[in-house]
A and B are shown apart, each in its own frame.
Chain A
Amino acid sequence: MKVLMFGWEFPPHILGGLGTASYGLTKGMSQQEDMDITFCIPKPWGDEDQSFLKIIGMNSVPIVWRDVQWDYVNNRVGSYMNPQLYYDLRDHIYADFGYMNTNDLGCIEFSGRYPDNLHEEINNYSIVAGVVARQQEFDIIHSHDWLTYPAGIHAKQVSGKPLVIHVHATDFDRSRGNVNPTVYAIEKNGMDNADHIMCVSELTRQTVIHKYFQDPRKVSTVHNAVSPLPQEIQDIVPHKIPNEKVVTFLGRITMQKGPEYFVEAAAMVLQRTRNIRFVMAGSGDMMNAMISLAAQRGIADRFHFPGFMKGKQVYECLKASDVYIMPSVSEPFGISPLEAMQCSVPTIISKQSGCAEILDKCIKTDYWDIHAMADAIYSICTNPSLYEYLKVEGKKEVDNIVWEKVGLKVRKIYDQVISSYRK
């Protein structure tokens, strides 16, 4: 089975959970022998792992015909793409996009991030997708997150193949209810045109059904999983300070992640004990507000903001922690608690996060219940047995949540969609 996937991020250059999930899912699916995945991203860097799928960089797909030499093309895009593909794609330019701002290869430049002109990038991505869909052969289209829904719809219209969309988040999660109408329109349009909708949790599924008015029969839940930790990360020896416990929050410091509840809970814990440190790693629009809140509560000496972390740093930070906490107000899935549990760190998550649906060996509280949260932190830090239990059993549990199983589930949905498509 050939799948054409549209995504926005792919490791190692990732900005959030979307990239990690895309990687894990495709890797898990590639375990099935007849699975052939082509993954489109706006801007490949050349160091992506292409051993189990083929990556097409949307910034190397021509939409305007340019007469260029093989060597030149090879020089420009050869690091991540076969130059022959460039010529094949060039044969499928479907309209005159001469008015567009293109480069010397006739391609549109992408930032590959979430820039201010995001809507323009989404639109460009969808234009390029038309070329890809005309050139590639595939049985089904799979779009990850709202940024790529327009591209998916376009590909569906061009090729007549069924479209499956993967909802990693909705705007209701990001904005605590104050949805951006433009984003909502794109999301809704994508869902209306999709032949099947996969959601990363039941929580998201309910949002899709009730807020986007989708038929429950075409919406299913496909929980995320985690990839096993590579050896070099397993080998990290944490720097632990004796007699001192570290409680860590790791993620974007934005409204969605509920950072203020963490600060308030920390203040409560510190009223009683002093040998616990709190770390809020990450950056975001609420960071300054959180710094001043910590100062207001008089706990700034025990509350640290190390800033944005990436790659190995993340795991170093996790491994040095005694408790990981994710008090998200609304989290479609939330892969980071699973990563913490992989590092044998006892974890506290909010009941309002999607991963709570599949995790059992962690403490769940309501995001607003700072008393329960403080109590849980205190309990893990003072009762060695609870710490030990969550550490050992949590690791065991999360080691059983693998992408291969998710891949099989997705495959089942594909088969079902294809068999019932246009009949």
Chain B
Amino acid sequence: MKTICLYFEIHQIIHLKRYRFFNIGTDHYYYDDYENERSINEVAERSYIPALNTLIDMAKSNGKYFKVALSISGVALEQLEIHAPAVIELLHELNDTGCCEFLAEPYSHGLSSLANEECFREEVLRMRDKIKQMFGQTPKVFRNSSLIYSDEIGAQVAAMGFKGMLTEGAKHILGWKSPHYLYHCSLNPDLKLLLRDFKLSDDICLRFSNSDWDAYPLFADTYMDWIAALPEEEQVINIFMELCAIGLSQPLSSNILDFLKALPVVAKERGINFSTPSEICSKLKSVGQIDVQYPLSWVDEERDISCWLGNVMQREAFNKLYSVAERVHLCSDRRIKQDWDYLQASNNFRFMTTKQSNIGLNRGIYDSPYDAFTNYMNILGDFISRVNALYPVDMENEELNSLLTTIRNQGEELVALNKEVDKLQAKLAKYESKSAKEETPKKVSAKKTAGKKVTTTK
């Protein structure tokens, strides 16, 4: 029996403001509040709210037959909490239907998996805890920012205790293989891999409303016929996309919501069901390993990381940013940690790409890659100097770490000692008061005797 794994991602970055080099050192606030509020509200109204309402409808009207998976980046969650709490409420409502599984992803939607293991681990676990805290379910499946995956990343993710991971069914990795099976990571067989079927996914998120497309207009039964026509032994159809594709890339006027609504019904008619990623990971067996030496992603025709790290500017920005990763990790300054999350978002690097692409790239406030680079580097300059101001720059990180540990240990020791002192002092006070009570009569007599003595000496 074939099963469809439908997954949506929610991510919006915190937009950086226009930051000139003369602001370095004087202005430590890097964000465009107006743009953030405007853009998140726009996405919520045009896409998230109608799309989530549809998913809730689908879950309610199909009972437990319909399943969907969602993941949210930490930065998007923060923005939704501040500017569009209605979306959060809908997420809760969807969660309450029991048909939705939440996956974990890096908090910042950044590229830390390519740069710094420690930093990657920290933000993934932080996101997992946040999902647990908000939705009451611990994510067991992981998806990296833009589905970036390589063997090493797979091993790291497995070490964090995840059962499965989503990635792209890129042609150059699969070769003759089909993405419609479950695979596993070559470095750790315990980590199952679900590969995105980019053809069927892009039919919805990229081509649905394109009237030049030969399959236009696409109806749910045609779409489901394609899936049903796949060979019998190909069982997993992974359809992954960003949630904002529904409503933004494919306008609601294209009736994409009705298309989605019809999917479970037509699937049932053809004996195709829906599963969440963790159900697939536990029910099915892996058919083989996937070797990915160089990182892949779901972006661009190349399906690699060249849209973030393709040119020298992007690489310099990336290296500069992660050069302070350990320092940020060591420190306990909350504002720096927060800025760190926002600056890591991969979109910041995407703005600097010089690649030609058929799909238009919205560069936001920047009118060229150089502009994006300049602005980001100015902000990074200020951020790095703030990080460096925390601890002496010429000190090795390891040395600093051991010193910080010593300081922390000493601090703890001091607290413990202080407690002991308090305890002893309390005891002492008790004893004193006790003994004082006992001694008082004596003292009085002593005074009297003393007084007598005085008088006698006179």
Residues of A near any B CB (own CB < 8 A): 268, 271-272, 363-364, 371-372, 374-376, 378-379, 382-386, 388-390, 393
In the assembled complex, the Cα of A379 lies from the Cα of B377 at a distance in Å of 8
Shortest distance in angstroms between A265's beta carbon and chain B's nearest beta carbon?
Answer: 11
Q: Are A376 and B313 in contact (CB under 8 A)?
A: no
Chain A residues whose CB sits within 8 angstroms of the CB of B367 once the complex forms? 364
Confirm or deny: B337 has a beta carbon within 8 angstroms of a beta carbon on chain A. Answer: no
Known: A271-B22, A272-B22, A374-B21. A386 touches B373 (CB 8 A): yes
Q: Are A364 and B21 in contact (CB under 8 A)?
A: no
Chain B residues whose CB sits within 8 angstroms of the CB of A383 once the complex forms? 313, 316, 373-374, 377
Q: Are B315 and A385 in contact (CB under 8 A)?
A: yes
In the assembled complex, the Cα of A385 lies from the Cα of B354 at a distance in Å of 13
Known: A379-B374, A383-B373, A386-B373. A374 touches B316 (CB 8 A): no
Confirm or deny: B129 has a beta carbon within 8 angstroms of a beta carbon on chain A. Answer: no
Q: Are A378 and B21 in contact (CB under 8 A)?
A: yes
Q: Are B377 and A374 in contact (CB under 8 A)?
A: no
From A268, A364, A388, B312 is in contact (CB under 8 Å) with A388
In the assembled complex, the Cα of A268 lies from the Cα of B24 at a distance in Å of 13
Shortest distance in angstroms between B277's beta carbon and chain A's nearest beta carbon?
Answer: 39
Chain B residues whose CB sits within 8 angstroms of the CB of A386 once the complex forms? 313, 316, 370, 373-374, 377
Tally B residues with Cβ within 8 Å of A.
21
In the assembled complex, the Cα of A390 lies from the Cα of B188 at a distance in Å of 43
Shortest distance in angstroms between A101's beta carbon and chain B's nearest beta carbon?
Answer: 56
Interface residues of B in 275-325 (CB under 8 A from A): 311-313, 315-317
Q: Are A379 and B316 in contact (CB under 8 A)?
A: no
Shortest distance in angstroms between B409's beta carbon and chain A's nearest beta carbon?
Answer: 40
Confirm or deny: B20 has a beta carbon within 8 angstroms of a beta carbon on chain A. Answer: yes
Chain A residues whose CB sits within 8 angstroms of the CB of B377 once the complex forms? 379, 382-383, 386
**Secondary structure of the B contact surface, majority rule:** helix
Closest A residue to B25 using CB positions:
A272
In the assembled complex, the Cα of A382 lies from the Cα of B315 at a distance in Å of 15
Q: Are B316 and A393 in contact (CB under 8 A)?
A: no
Q: Are B354 and A384 in contact (CB under 8 A)?
A: no
Shortest distance in angstroms between A267's beta carbon and chain B's nearest beta carbon?
Answer: 11
The winner among A271, A374, A385 for most chain B CB atoms within 10 A is: A385
Shortest distance in angstroms between B89's beta carbon and chain A's nearest beta carbon?
Answer: 42
Confirm or deny: B348 has a beta carbon within 8 angstroms of a beta carbon on chain A. Answer: no
Shortest distance in angstroms between A13's beta carbon and chain B's nearest beta carbon?
Answer: 37
Confirm or deny: B368 has a beta carbon within 8 angstroms of a beta carbon on chain A. Answer: yes
Q: List 22 A-B residue pairs with CB atoms under 8 Å apart, sorted by A's residue number.
A: A272-B24, A363-B368, A363-B370, A363-B371, A374-B22, A375-B374, A375-B375, A375-B378, A376-B370, A378-B21, A378-B374, A379-B21, A379-B374, A382-B21, A383-B316, A384-B316, A385-B312, A385-B313, A385-B316, A385-B317, A386-B377, A390-B370
Q: Are B312 and A272 in contact (CB under 8 A)?
A: no
For the complex of A and B, the 6 pairs showing the least CB-CB separation, nearest first, are A385-B316, A379-B374, A385-B312, A378-B21, A385-B313, A363-B370
In the assembled complex, the Cα of A364 lies from the Cα of B381 at a distance in Å of 22
In the assembled complex, the Cα of A364 lies from the Cα of B374 at a distance in Å of 13
Chain A residues whose CB sits within 8 angstroms of the CB of B311 once the complex forms? 389
A379-B378, A385-B315, A385-B317 given; 19 more Cβ-contact pairs under 8 Å:
A272-B21, A272-B22, A363-B371, A371-B20, A372-B371, A375-B20, A375-B21, A375-B375, A378-B374, A379-B374, A379-B377, A383-B373, A383-B377, A386-B313, A386-B316, A386-B374, A388-B312, A389-B311, A389-B313
Chain B residues whose CB sits within 8 angstroms of the CB of A363 once the complex forms? 368, 370-371
Shortest distance in angstroms between B384's beta carbon and chain A's nearest beta carbon?
Answer: 12
